Amino acid sequence: MNGWRLPPELDVPVPRPVKMNTAYIVLTIFLFVPLIFLSIFMIGIFFILSLHISLAHFIGSEYLSFMLFPLLSFSFIYIFYRKYKYEKYILQYGEIAFASIAREYEYDSRTGMLSEVTYSFMDRSGNVVAGSRKGVPAPYSQRDELNEIRAQILSNPTALYDPKDSSKNILYPPRFVSLA
């Protein structure tokens, strides 16, 4: 616990007030809303076509692959929604613990170099629990805002975990939610 301190914004009673991060709002508006409308449009086209063509023609044809887009779109949206709900619950009701960074692994992504940080912490029962967080900006980023995000995560590593199941944990600050 060398120099670890409780982030002052976390020093509030549970349930903590939580709001959606701007990044998640932008993702919702510019990615999810168009995906939903396009998927609804494609389902409508599929329905209209199914009135004129027997369903036997759909199986094994390009129409079946046409319906995969809405299925994949809704799956993608569902995954992000579950991640948002998970982070929201952990931030609202989670226990706070000092986390020590065990390992950092850099990898290349479409947006540049990122890191996966593996951390461990001791829960209330005394069990040592490990977790990881992907998408941490790489240490030598040219953009100041990415360096600031990295510093927030790694300068004072804090884990939040579900009091009922410490294997459900996140490294503070989360991506999709923040304290209100």
pLDDT > 70? residue 9: yes
77/131 same-domain check: no
Q: Are 121 and 169 within 8 A, CB to CB?
A: yes
Give the number of domains in the chain. Answer: 2
pLDDT, position 1: 56
Asked if residue 15 is part of any domain, the answer here is: no
pLDDT, position 145: 81
Asked if residue 175 is part of any domain, the answer here is: yes
Asked if residue 41 is part of any domain, the answer here is: yes
79/118 same-domain check: no
pLDDT > 70? residue 62: no
pLDDT > 80? residue 65: no
Asked if residue 5 is part of any domain, the answer here is: no
Q: At which residue do the structure tokens 């329905």 appear?
A: 47
pLDDT, position 175: 87
pLDDT tens-digit map of 10-22: 999 999 999 988 7
131 or 51, higher pLDDT: 131
- CA 170 vs CA 10, 96, 180: distances in Å: 14, 10, 18
- CA 81 vs CA 27, 106, 133, 173: distances in Å: 11, 26, 18, 18
Residues 6+ apart with CB under 8 A from 7: 156, 158, 172
pLDDT, position 109: 84
Last residue of a domain, one of 89, 105, 128: 89
Asked if residue 39 is part of any domain, the answer here is: yes
56/116 same-domain check: no
63/35 same-domain check: yes
Last residue of a domain, one of 46, 62, 89: 89
Q: What is the pTM of this model?
A: 0.78
C-alpha 56: how far from its chain's center?
40
pLDDT > 80? residue 47: no
pLDDT, position 180: 86
Helix (H, G, I), strand (E, B) or coil at 8: helix
pLDDT tens-digit map of 71-123: 777 888 888 889 999 999 999 999 999 999 999 999 988 877 899 999 999 99
Q: Are 133 and 116 within 8 A, CB to CB?
A: yes
pLDDT, position 74: 81
Last residue of a domain, one of 45, 71, 89: 89
Q: Which domain holds residue 144?
A: 96-179
Asked if residue 142 is part of any domain, the answer here is: yes
For residue 101, which of 161, 53, 171 has the smallest C-alpha distance? 171
pLDDT, position 2: 66
High-pLDDT (> 90) share of the chain, %:
38
Question: Is the alpha carbon torsion for 27, 158, 180, 94 positive or negative?
Answer: positive
pLDDT, position 26: 77
Asked if residue 2 is part of any domain, the answer here is: no
